[in-house]
A and B are shown apart, each in its own frame.
Chain A
Amino acid sequence: MAEVILRNVFKTYEGGNTAVKDVNIHIQDKEFVVLVGPSGCGKSTTLRMIAGLEEISSGELLIDGKVVNEVSPKDRDIAMVFQNYALYPHMSVYENMAFGLKLRKFPKDEIDARVKEAAKILDLEQYLERKPKALSGGQRQRVAVGRAIVRKPKVFLFDEPLSNLDAKLRVQMRTEISRLHHQLEATMVYVTHDQVEAMTMGDRIVVMKDGIVQQIDTPLNLYNFPGNKFVAGFIGSPSMNFISGTLVKEGTLQFISENKTLTIQIPAAIEAKLQNSTGKKVWMGVRPEDFHQVQIEEGKKFEAKLEVVEPMGNEIYLYFPVDGVQFTARIPSREKPNPGSVKELYIDTTKLHFFDAETETALL
């Protein structure tokens, strides 16, 4: 059992700058939780507080049921993989991995067995005698992971471990870490600013902004039911299109964009939920993949004057203005329309998202 619980955790630096505000996260045993958000959102600070590298200004941190606010990093039984690897350059790969075990006075045979086992899992067996400087970026990162897994800690912490790797290696390491999670059945907390990593790796994702937790949910729930406009825009690539306007009741409920160039009939299925917002200013959100080239049921037809067309191979991104705002649509790649041409598109109105204009919280 290795639950990690953050209760009303704050981090305030000298000078009054608050980096983390009232964070409450309950990380289950064996769960893979990803903290994600833009730079400066407090995700790394939160992780470092779990590690014990930053003091907790107020609130409680529990690991395995015990409050560990005042426990030093070495006694928390955690392991951490850093963004810049942080390998000890004067030690060989073997010594790097064995260091933590030696300090904990493990018998030599067991150290040897554990290091070799980790090296086997991570395909590092032939590099054990090398110094870190003789390794490639990917190998160094694997050593850093190895150094964590030999310890068999209660909790693994990852601080943007893949952001220094090139794109191909990043995808490879991503799957390796996911595989390790299943293999080791360990509690893992992973920090990243990359929402693709978050979506693909996490059992649950914690989205943060300005030190505040915006939403905690499974990847698909975050995607389908974002709690507010920030989460809706942050999760998903290309990101959700937003347009501001008003909900008006004219017989049925309608959304009318600010410059009145787009009017959308709200489908009966969601009309009831939006009743309370009638007459109010709202943000409407459309995911790029909810545009279709052919007529669909509950589809709102409109003409898109294409400004930029980006073929991605398997699909095409179309960029066009709607009511003065740039929209992105993602359509299957069959033919490549010309920039400057006008294309008929249908918005799937059953998949629309609505957010309060003031509070930016989801209305559906």
Chain B
Amino acid sequence: MNTKKYFINALTYLVLILFTLIALYPIINVFTISIRPGDKLLSTSLAIIPDNWTLRQYAELFVKRPFMLWIMNSAIISATVTLTGVALASTAGYALSRFQFVGKQSSMLALLTTQMFPATMLLLPMYIMLIKLHLINSYLGIIIIYSATALPFCVWQMKGYYDTIPYSLEESARIDGCNKWQAFYKIILPLATPALVITALFSFMTAWSEYIVAAQILQDTSLYTLPIGLKSFESNLSTEWGLYAAASLIVSVPVVVLFVVLSKWLVSGLTLGSVKG
């Protein structure tokens, strides 16, 4: 019995280690490339820290390239999309979860329908709309498009989470002295933190790593976001893989940090103990 348990444990760890390696390999590879000296970029060496390693690529990014500008642009756009996503999805989801109104079902279906088309397919109509609104080449234009892309999913998942929170909590709050708005933001919103975190992460990721839409709408180099900026390292004749690798690593840092910081809020069972389950 014990041998069998031991064997299963060993096998579990083996599989986990294997998948961890598969997940880590590209990151390690990118890291290695980012610190290789320029003449050894295409080396087949497996050393993680190459001989004559250098931080020249990182320095060049910040000193010679408008990398800081791209980070700023991406940060402004992503933060705005995240805030918009959280503010609108939390309230719209609540309305869809709690209130009965004309057009509730059809509006939910309409939201779902937008998720059925790939972003590339929506690119042309969105582009035309932005031209008519004179929003091409502007923060506002890209923010509207990213928010519109992220919101349907966020609204649905917020609604789904609110549905699991018992009505009696709000009713209790309203008897305790809250009006409807207070019951929402003092009681229900804190309980919906896990869903809010997912909404925030999803909205952020939608904006932070998006390339195709940004490449069409932001043509002014001063408005470039990180993904378009990175792509500019690529040309017909040669690609600056060292810079590309260094930039990719830096770009992924905020995402990793965000996930680590927010993951503690992603716990289920926050409403545990409120009502008899």
Contacts and interface: CB of A to CB of B under 8 A. Distances in A.
Contacts of B273: 87, 89, 131-135, 140
Contact of B168 (A78, A82, A151): A82
A103 B187 CA distance: 13
Contacts of B178: 74, 103
A86 B275 contact: yes
B177 A86 contact: no
Given A89-B191, A100-B177, A164-B276, A80 B172 contact: yes
Contacts of A89: 191, 270-274
Contacts of B270: 89-90
A147 interface: yes
B169 interface: yes
Nearest to A130: B273
A134 B274 CA distance: 10
Interface string B236-277: 000000000000000000000000000000000011111110
B98 to A, nearest CB: 13
Interface in A37-56: 51-53
B179 interface: yes
Given A82-B172, A88-B169, A88-B187, A104 B274 contact: no
A110 to B, nearest CB: 15
B172 A104 contact: no
A130 B172 CA distance: 20
Given A86-B166, A86-B169, A132 B177 contact: no
Nearest to B190: A90
Contacts of A131: 273
A80 B173 CA distance: 10
Q: Count chain A CB atoms within 10 A of each CB in B168, B178, B190, B191 and give the residue with the most.
A: B168
B232 interface: no
Contacts of A135: 273
B131 to A, nearest CB: 46
B176 interface: yes
Contacts of A339: none
B66 to A, nearest CB: 44
A348 B181 CA distance: 62
Interface in B126-174: 166, 168-169, 171-174
Interface of A: 51-53, 72-74, 78-80, 82-90, 99-100, 103-104, 131-135, 137, 140, 147, 151, 164
Would you list the 3 A-B pairs with minimal beta carbon distance, nearest first? A133-B273, A103-B177, A84-B275
Interface of B: 166, 168-169, 171-179, 182, 187, 190-191, 270-276
